[in-house]
Structure 1
């Protein structure tokens, strides 16, 4: 069912519905949302700790500077979203996609990501520290300038179709990372190699 231009509580969200231009008020209950589409909606609260989002699609939504510590995202899609400065610490992400979005300065540290894909999005200075990656991480058309992958094993991560001039990584974690020839110069110094 399509729900348009309504002011709703989180408890009013029903599986199978599409919400367009709706505003959702603050909820004190634990948030559990599944099988819903949100188009151009607004969320009045900024703390979603311990929430669970399954099979949801977010189109043109702003979660800038929101907190999602300890949350779960399964088979969710973020399209054209503002996730700048969002806190996704100790999250569990599985088969999620982020596309055409701004994710700069967000923090995904100590999270688990399984089979996720990022396309045409900006991840400048994002923290991906102590991340556990399952099934790699596919990216294309993204910007990762200054992103921090400290203490994250990068085997299965493909950054070859994305851009960065500098990454913060531990040399021992680079094994299995896929990059292109132009990106190699920015990482070779970490290995103690001098380029003349």
Structure 2
């Protein structure tokens, strides 16, 4: 499967989410508590549906659009959401574990009690996302777009952020220990109160022009 990196850089202010295939549109359905484990969807568009408490173990969604979907209290394990667009979706008490969301874009979504453990979230677009107190642990987020994201009090522990776009991100009070901060420019982000380890401190000091020996 090819990775279209540009998906993560679509204009975040776009009002109309893409409809990959007009013949594959699901609108206004109640999928409360549905088990989507092992199912596969490609180029589908889901509008204004309730996915509260959905269980998804190994489901595959490729080039799909989710608009106005409630993912509240849903659990996704070993699932894939590749090159997808999430527009105006709600993620309350939502957990992704060992999932793949490569190349997907999140626009105008709300995140509360949001947790990601493991998996590959490389090339994901989360520009301006409000991820305060969200938890990302052991996640691969290479070249993810976190421009102007709000991450105050969030946990990004052991996260691969190499090549990530972090300009204007707010990281005050965030736990960044064990994460790759090689692409972070400390002059363009808010870092007050962030927790880092000694190795990360050396990386940041070097970025500021200090000679660390």
TM-score by length of 2: 0.76
Partner of 2:195 in structure 1? 178
- What is the distance in 1 between the residues matched to 2:195 and 2:180? 12
Q: Does 1:49 align with 2:62?
A: no
Q: 1:92 to 1:76 in 2, by over 3 A?
A: same
Select 2:92's aligned residue among 69, 74, 79.
Answer: 74
By how many angstroms is 1:27 displaced? 4.3
Q: 1:36 to 1:179 in 2, by over 3 A?
A: same
By how many angstroms is 1:86 displaced? 1.0
1:97-116 to 2 correspondence within 5 Å?
A: 97-116=115-134
- Give the total of aligned pairs: 187
Partner of 1:193 in structure 2? 210
By how many angstroms is 1:137 displaced? 1.0
By how many angstroms is 1:193 displaced? 3.3
TM-score by length of 1: 0.82
Structure scoring higher RCO (CA < 8 A, sep ≥ 6) equals 2
The answer (yes or no) to whether the contact 1:154–1:173 under 8 Å persists in 2 is yes
- What is the distance in 1 between the residues matched to 2:54 and 2:48? 17
By how many angstroms is 1:44 displaced? 5.8
- What is the distance in 1 between the residues matched to 2:70 and 2:101? 17
- What is the distance in 2 between the residues matched to 1:49 and 1:12? 12
Partner of 2:108 in structure 1? 90
Q: Spell out, residue by residue over 1:61-111, the C-alpha distance to the aligned partner (whole angstroms, 9 max, x if none).
A: 111111113322111111121111110133221111111210011111111
Gaps of 5+ in 1: 1-8
Select 1:118's aligned residue among 131, 136, 143.
Answer: 136
- What is the distance in 2 between the residues matched to 1:53 and 1:86? 16
Gaps of 5+ in 2: 1-25
Partner of 1:148 in structure 2? 165
